A and B are shown apart, each in its own frame.
Chain A
Amino acid sequence: MRTLPPVDVVIVGGGWTGLTMAKELATRTGLKILVLERGGPHKTRDYLDNMDELDYAIRLRTMQPIRDETVTLRHSARDRVLPIRQYGSFLPGTGVGGSGEHWSGISYRYYPHDFGRLSHLVEKYGRARLPEDCAVRDWPISYDDLEPDYERAERLMGISGKAGNLRGNKIEGGNIFEGPRQSDYPTPPMKLPYLAALFRDATHSLGYHPFPLPAATTSVPYTNPDGVARAGCAYCGYCERFGCMIGAKAQPTNTLMPVLSRRNNFEMRTGAWVRRLVPEGGRVRGARYVDANGDEVFQPADVVFLASWTLNNTRLLLLSGIGEPYDPKTGKGVVGSHLTHQVSVPAATLFFEKPLNAFMGAGSAGIAIGDFDFLDHKDLDFVSGGALYTVCYGTRPIANFGAVPPSVHARWGSAWKKAALHNYDRTGLVRFYGEHLAYSGNYMDLDPVYKDRYGDPLLRLTLDWTDNERNMVRLITSRAVQVGRAMGAGEILAFEGLKRYQATRYQGTHVQGGTIVGAKQTDSVVNMYLQHWRAPNLFVLGASAFPQNPSSNPTLTAVALTFRAADAVIQRYLKHPGALA
C-alpha cells in the first residue's frame, strides 16, 4: 500500500458538514486541506439534463449505489437480520455535496427544549412517565449557545422564512414557538402554492399557528457573507431527489464549492472510498482508502474530520476500532448507540374537488404548525411531539399517479384508471414529522454476514418503533384529518398507523445517532466541539452526534454545530492540540 505525502487536514466526506468545515479552515488558516469523497463531482449545469423523473427520482442515480453498500436491518436482537436490498425509508446521496444536493431544503432550528430534552421531560412529567428503555439525553450545549451559529448557517444558505420570535418578541405569522432569534431570516418567505394556502387558512381557522416553512430554496436572489450569489427559486418542482439546475436551492456545490475552488490550500479528491481511519496511540494517523484507480493508499494527516453520511460515520468508527462499541446487554460502550429515525408519516391524504396544479412548487414551499411540538402530555399516552405540515414539493407523474380515494377499491383496469386520472391533480397530503426518542434497544453494530463491495462488514441496524411513537402518530393523525376537513377535502385517507419500522416506505434521510455528543467520555463519543473523547485529533461531524431525533429536520443544526466546532479548532485546538473539553 502506497503512503501519500501528508497533509494538515483530511476531511472524509464532501457534504454539508465536511465542506463547511473545509471552508472555515481554508479561508481562516493556511492549512492544507484535503477532502476525500467517494462519489464524483457535480455541477449545477448537469442538473438541467437530470430533470428526468425515471432516471433520477425512480432509479435514483444521484444516490449512493446500493449495489456497492447497504445496511442490514432487524427489529430486535431476537429477529432475523437481512440487508435492505433496495432503497426505501432513506436516500443517502453520493458525490460532492452528498445528500445536501438532493435535499428538500427545509431548514428549521431545533427548539430550546430539544437541547435539554431529558431535563425538560423529567421536570414536566417526572421520570416515571418516560418509556422504560428510553435513553433520551440532554445535549451538553443549549439553544442559546448555538444561536449565533444558527444565524451563520442561515446566512450561509440564505434561508427564507419569517421570524416568530425576535429577541423574545412573538410575531404572528412566524413560528411563535421558536427559540428567540437575534435577527430575522436572511430572505422573505417563499410563495405559497394553492394546497399550502388551504392548509394555512384551515389551521388558522382551527386556532393553530401556521408559519411558512424555513427554506433553503431561497425566495429571492441572494448573496451570502462569503460573496456567493444564488438565484431565487423558480418553483419548477424538481428539488428532492434532484440537484437544483439554477442554484436556488442551497447545496454544498453552489454555496461552499465556489469559495473552496478558489483556494490553493484546498483539494477535492473524488472517487476515494475510505475503508479505515488508522488509530495509533490515542490519535488518528490518517485515512486508508481505495482511490479512483482501485488502488489502496494511505493518506496521513495531522487532523481528521469524519464527515460522511450519519450511518457511515458510525460504520467507519466501528470498522476502524476507534472507541468502544455499544453493547445493549450491558449498556456499556458508546459507538453505535442512540440510533433514531425522525418519525415521518403521510398523516392524511386528502381528495379535493378542485385541481391543485401540484406540479408547481419547491421542496420547502409550504406551511407548518408547531402546536403539536408543545402538547401538554399530562393526559396523553406519549411524551413526544412534532410538526404538521403541507409542503408543495412539485408532484411528478410516475411517483404520484395511482392514488385513489378510499371508496375506490380497484388497483388496475378501467375503474382504477378513471379514478386515478380524476384524482391525479386533486390529491394532497398533510404530513407529520415527529420526534423519535432514543431507546436502549435501537442501535448499530457490524453485521456478521453481509459485506460491501470491498468485503467490509455492513452496518447492522436494530431498530423499531415503540408505543410512544405509535400513540403519538395515532393522535396527530386524527388532528390531521380534522385539518383536512377544514381544508375542504371530500374523501380523506387517514394514515394506517405505525406498526413496525419499515425499510420500504420513504420517511426522510434523517437517520441519526451512533456517535453522540455528551458531557462525559463514559457515555458519549464526542464532546461539545464534536471532538472524539479518545482521539483528540479526530472530529466527527454531522447528525450522528444527535442523542435523540427532534421533530425538526437536522441539516441546519448539523451545519451550525460545524461552525461552532470550526471556531474551537481554529481558535484553540490549532494553537494547543489536545482535548478541548
Chain B
Amino acid sequence: MTTSSPLAVEMRGIVKRFPGVLANDHVDFELRAGEIHALLGENGAGKSTLMSVLAGLYKPEAGTILVRGQPVSFNSPRDATARGLGMIHQHFTLIPSQTVTENILLGLDEPRFFMRLKAYDQRMAEMSQRFGLQITPHVKVWQLSVGEQQRVEILKMLYRGVDVLIMDEPTAVLAPQEIGELFKTLRAMVAQGKSIIFISHKLNEVMAIADRVTVLRLGKVTAAGLKTSETSIPELARLMVGRTVLFDLDKKPQEPGVVVLQLEGVCADNDKGLPALRGVSLTVRAGEIVGVAGVAGNGQTELAEVITGLRRCTAGRILVNGEDVTNRPASVTIHKGVAHVPEDRTHVGSAPTLSITDNVIMKSYRQPPLARGWALDGKAARQKAETLKVEYTIAAPTVDTPARMLSGGNLQRMILARELSSRPQLLIAMQPTRGLDVGAIEGVQRLLLTQREQGAAILLSSEELDEIFTLSDRVIVMYSGEIAGEVHGHDAETVGLMMTGAKRM
C-alpha cells in the first residue's frame, strides 16, 4: 500500500440532499487499491449516504465518481456491481428458508433453469476456502449465526466479482470473537487485491483494521485519508465529534447501601430449551454499579430476562429488596421498581409505529397520574412525553412521531428516558451504549452514573470492556452460564482470561 497505488475509487464533490438535511456536502473520498479504508463518523454524519451513492442506491445531486479512473454513473446497485462495487448493509438481505448457495445465486443470470445445486455448492466451497470464510454451502440460512450470515453476504459479493467491498458497520451485530474472524477475512481479501471500505463509529476497531481513515462530520469531511499509524484515538474522536471527548468520566467514590438485588443459585433455559444459566448467585447494592463482562451468548441476556420476569427461572430464587419475585410476571417486577434497558431496542424496547408518547408510557400507564381507573389520561401522557423529550434531548419533530422514525441514538435516549424517569431502585442495563456514537455514549454513561449517585442499584452488561471498567464498582465475569469470578479494579487481563473460560475463581 504505497502512496503510488492506483486509485480504485475516487469521489469528487458529492452532494446528496434529503428533505431537510444535507447528508453529503461536497464530499471527496479516495480509495486506493488493496487498502482497508475506514469511513468514520457519528450517527447521521453521512457515512452510509455517501457509500449508498457509491453503491448505486442513491443518485447524488452533484459530484462525480471515478472507478479505476473511469467516470461512472450508476442507476442501480446492479450497475455498481457490474463495475466491481458491492455494499453489505447492516441488515442482511438473505432469505432464511433457502440455502447459502441459493442465496448467493439469487438474481444472477446463471444458472438459467436447472439449479444444479451440487455443482454450485462445490464452487461456493472452493471460493470460501480461498478467502478463509468458513461456510457450509448447503446449509439453510436460518440455521446460521449472525456472523455466518455476514460471511454469506461477503461471499455473495465475491461471487459477483466485486473488487471494492463496502461494509456498513459490519461489527455492530457481531460478538467479539466473530469480529476477530471478520478481521481475518478482511485481511485475506486485501491480500488478494480487493479493496475494502469499512464504515464504523468505533474508534478502536478503526485503529485495529484500517490502513487509512476518512472522517465525516455533519456531512463534511474533517479528515481525508489519515494513516491510522499516524493518528490516535483521541485525535479521531475530536475529528468525529468536533470537540475533545473526555474518556474519563467523573465517578465519585461512594459507599454502597443495602442489598437491592439478590440472586441465589438461579438457573434458566435459553430459547432452544438448553440451560443458559447454571446456578448464578450475585448481589447488587443500592448506589453500586455491578458490571457483567462476558462474550455474548454466555447467559447475560437470559440473566436480565430472568430478573425482569421475562424468562422462567427453573431453579433458585430472585429477591428484589428482600421480596421473592421468582417467576412473578414482568408487571410485578416493574411495579417493584425494576427498570430494564433491553439489548434489542427495536424488537423489544420499543413499538415502532406507535408514537413517542405511547412508547414512553409503556411502563407507567398502569398507575396514576396516567391511569384514571380504566381510562388513560391522554393529556398527562402527552405532558410526560413532552417533558422527557426536552430532558433527555430526544431529537424528533413532535411527541407524536412514530418511534421507527428515530435514529439509533434517539431511540436509545427515548428508552432510557422511559426507564430512568421511573426513579428505579434497580436498573438492568443491557448494552446501553451499543451502536451509539462517541458523543451519545458519553451522555448515556453520565446518565448511568447519575442514577448511581441517586442510589439506584445497577446491573450493567456491556461488550465494551472499557465501558465496564469505567463505570463499574465491581465486575463479575460470566462464562457458559456461570459466574466465572469477580474482579475489583481495572484488571483487564484476569477478566479476559475468565471470559474465555481459561480462569475461574
Q: Do A and B bind each other?
A: no
